[in-house]
Amino acid sequence: MSTLRPCERVGLEFIDDAPLKFSNSVDLAITPAQLFEVLADAESWPHWATVITKVTWTSPEPRGVGTTRVVDMRGGIVGDEEFLAWEPNTRMAFRFNSSSTSALAAFAEDYRVVETPQGCRLTWTLAQRLAGPARFTSFAAAPLMNLAFRRFLANLRRYTDRRFATTAS
């Protein structure tokens, strides 16, 4: 296992106040409950957030504030996460308590779900404070990172369309 370095244990306010944020939305043709089913399913993440190779819940169910999990990503990056919000079918947010990369001083993600006539809309916000040399190169990498995050949401739409496809014509 990778050596994990502590990250700042930020609260929900960090999502609004972080120096580097990415926020994107996607309309999904599924219910908020179906979306939460996907988000709670460790096996689903690598199908749409392709940087993720494995998700391991490290807290027993039921999920809620304080629940933990470990996320393994490409490049050998590992994040040890703790959930700061868990409002079924509406919102989930987590922070990294530690990470295998020294480039992250603080990191959090927020997933907000709103029901729509066609299903639901997910707004996904990633918030971070970088450390070391990454602080000085983030402006150049930010557009490519945001492009990748938008691609993940397009992947999520395709994944949920397939997973919840109906046979009705």
Instruction: Please state the φ and ψ torsions of residue 48, each to the nearest 5 degrees.
Output: -120, -40
The helix/strand count (H/E) of the chain reads as 4, 8
Q: Check: CB of residue 164 under 8 Å from CB of residue 156.
A: no
Q: Which pTM does this prediction carry? A: 0.93
- Give residue for tokens 């992250």: 104
Q: Give CATH for domain 5-163.
A: 3.30.530.20
pLDDT for 98-133, tens place per residue? 999 999 999 999 999 999 999 999 999 999 999 987
Q: Check: CB of residue 55 under 8 Å from CB of residue 42.
A: yes
pLDDT band at 74 (very low <50, low <70, confident <90, very high): very high
Given a cut of 80, whether residue 37 has pLDDT beyond it is: yes
Given a cut of 90, whether residue 21 has pLDDT beyond it is: yes
SS3 134: helix
Give the pLDDT of residue 132.
83
Helix, strand and coil content of the chain, in percent to the nearest 5, comes to 30, 40, 30
